[in-house]
Chain A
């Protein structure tokens, strides 16, 4: 039986006025001290560069970064970019690179996390070995794979010849058709452990009770995964995929060290291309305009990114 509680009904709306935002800021002035160091560093190293890049994108600059001599050219830098063939080629490369790397790294990481979830002898060692590629530097990874792909003495080609898969040493990274997939393999090698760690952490939060309940209800292993485990990992998966996508979109070291964007731009992605325009050909204004376009794309990604990352930001009253 339920009893109405009369005049003492639930929480009531207050008729008082809330203090305005400045009063609130003043009241919590001490709180800002905690975040101040972080904010100052961020402002100096982020806000200024962004402002600077946007400004520079409307100027033509002479080589050598003599910025006093820059000339205002309006949107010329932008039209130069959008009308160049290289831009579109690099854009296609970037999307292939980002999407393929992200999805395959995620799937491999997910699979490894699931396979490692059950306890068995040697699990800890296996897990540790699988994580190592993520920890070592991308520069080292690039050199290792550059050597493995070497057109004369590369071990991968030698193995393929020995197994009869190729009749002579294949040319992985000096070939416009195979260079991008070859680099994606390197990138995934370095990134799938990150997805694995995230999902292993996520798997630990799947309540055992639910899995047992599903088992009692007669669900098969696959059904338990699909109805219990997978929905539980949706949040982690979103965050992981976004973090991977952002990192891949912003990749630089692997293509730059391994191939420098070649041959004939076949492995250039946005970031390496911008770098080459700026530091190779000293076309600072065009590079800045490129960067601004990059901002625009990142902002779209960033919307989802911030949404996913702040999803678990719980704030209660009080404190």
Chain B
């Protein structure tokens, strides 16, 4: 296993940046998820690490080697593809054996290693089958096996779970996590599903528009998103974002809505909004930090219920607040109706404030 360092990685197509100045370090044995919406550059970045496309500039270091100009086969990596990319004309055994054959291992050693890997992944009984005779989950295992059999320095995974149905995805998620723990493998994992990243990865790298937005532990990214994009991308349901204006009366700083209400800010939050470039500030809050009241109470602000979605143990409510939609979660015992007027109370210690112009998170210093 080895660490992977990306230094100012750039990839352009013609005059368009697919990845711009991406720098990050994946430590030995770390599971890093690259997340972002489609077209954000995460797959491009992975392909650059794999050597499947040439880099425009920057450096890729795997272990202690700069691999910029090395062929994929010489980078000591393994990759699992979204559509598994199992060789359709080969049996499962031949699929697993292929990387070893390419390295010209003796036949008996290939046989031993393939069976070992098959045993670990519980696919021994499938070895003589062709990929098209396997279910999606089985194909997924074979794809993992083909990566595992070689003992590579780094595992690269490109949306390996997105072709599976929901139930299987949850199951494979824990298996891949297990796989990482057992092997202490270095894994770079691309996904558009932030939930996969949050649940599996040691660190997540959120990308958008070819730029790395934030690289940190899932807990940190969740708790302290650096900008509105990260805030809205990580977490489900998404963080609610309400554009408001800063006003100040009698030394008290508040957020003011065009609808006429004011939300007084705590001293620390007041220091944050003081750093905003203009009066425009966006209030962010996660569903679980908002309390819903049926009548006006304290600093609660008025909203109108839009939809109510009971899921059993939690009821999700969407409500209009100052023209924006806010997600709130409630215990099922609270009953609200669409179009009902309600009052929302924000937890001053857990709200997020963003600069309305730069969209960056506001800090107190």
Contacts and interface: CB of A to CB of B under 8 A. Distances in A.
A221 interface: no
A interface: dominant SS: loop
Interface string B296-312: 00000000000000000
Interface in A4-19: 4-16, 18
Contact of B232 (A3, A9, A13, A318): A3
Interface string B1-45: 000000000001111111010000000000000000001000000
Contacts of B39: 10-11
B210 A11 contact: yes
A317 interface: yes
B156 interface: no
B52 A12 contact: no
A10 B360 CA distance: 17
A20 to B, nearest CB: 14
Highest count of chain B CB atoms <10 Å: which of A1, A11, A317: A11
A10 B209 CA distance: 5
Contacts of A9: 209
Contacts of B227: 6, 8
Contacts of A317: 13, 18, 53
Contact of B359 (A5, A12, A14, A18): A5
Contacts of B56: 16
Given A3-B228, A6-B227, A318-B52, A12 B14 contact: no
A255 to B, nearest CB: 47
Contacts of B16: 11-14
A147 B20 CA distance: 74
B285 to A, nearest CB: 14
Given A4-B359, A5-B208, A6-B358, A12 B17 contact: yes
B47 to A, nearest CB: 7
B209 A12 contact: yes
Contacts of A14: 12, 14-17
Interface string A70-105: 000000000000000000000000000000000000
A9 B209 CA distance: 6
B14 A8 contact: no
Contacts of A5: 208-209, 228-229, 359
Nearest to A17: B15
A67 B13 CA distance: 54
Nearest to A13: B15
A292 to B, nearest CB: 40
Contact of A1 (B209, B211, B324, B359): B324
Contacts of A16: 12, 15, 56
B147 interface: no
A9 B37 CA distance: 12
B359 A11 contact: no
A18 B325 CA distance: 45
Interface string B214-232: 0000000000000111001
Interface string B228-243: 1100100000000100
A317 B241 CA distance: 36
B213 interface: yes
Given A11-B39, A12-B210, A3 B241 contact: yes
B71 to A, nearest CB: 12
Interface string A146-160: 000000000000000
Nearest to B212: A8
Nearest to A18: B14
A18 to B, nearest CB: 7
A317 B47 CA distance: 12
Contact of A8 (B47, B213, B325): B213
Interface in B180-218: 208-211, 213
Given A6-B229, A7-B359, A12 B241 contact: no
Contacts of B358: 6-7
A12 B39 CA distance: 12
A9 B227 CA distance: 13
Nearest to A9: B209
B253 to A, nearest CB: 24
Interface in A183-216: none
A75 B286 CA distance: 85
B14 A11 contact: no
B325 A6 contact: no
A318 B209 contact: no
A317 to B, nearest CB: 5
A1 B56 CA distance: 36
Given A16-B12, A317-B13, A318-B52, A3 B210 contact: no
Nearest to A27: B54
Nearest to B326: A1
B17 A1 contact: no
Nearest to A16: B12
22 contacts: A1-B241, A1-B324, A3-B229, A4-B228, A5-B209, A6-B228, A7-B358, A7-B359, A8-B208, A8-B209, A8-B211, A8-B227, A8-B229, A9-B209, A10-B39, A11-B17, A11-B18, A11-B210, A12-B16, A12-B209, A14-B12, A318-B53
Interface of A: 1, 3-16, 18, 317-318
Q: Would you list the 6 A-B pairs with minimal beta carbon distance, nearest first?
A: A6-B359, A14-B12, A8-B208, A8-B209, A14-B15, A11-B16
Given A4-B359, A5-B208, A7-B359, 13 more contacts: A3-B241, A6-B229, A7-B358, A9-B209, A10-B39, A11-B209, A12-B209, A13-B16, A14-B15, A14-B16, A16-B12, A18-B15, A317-B13
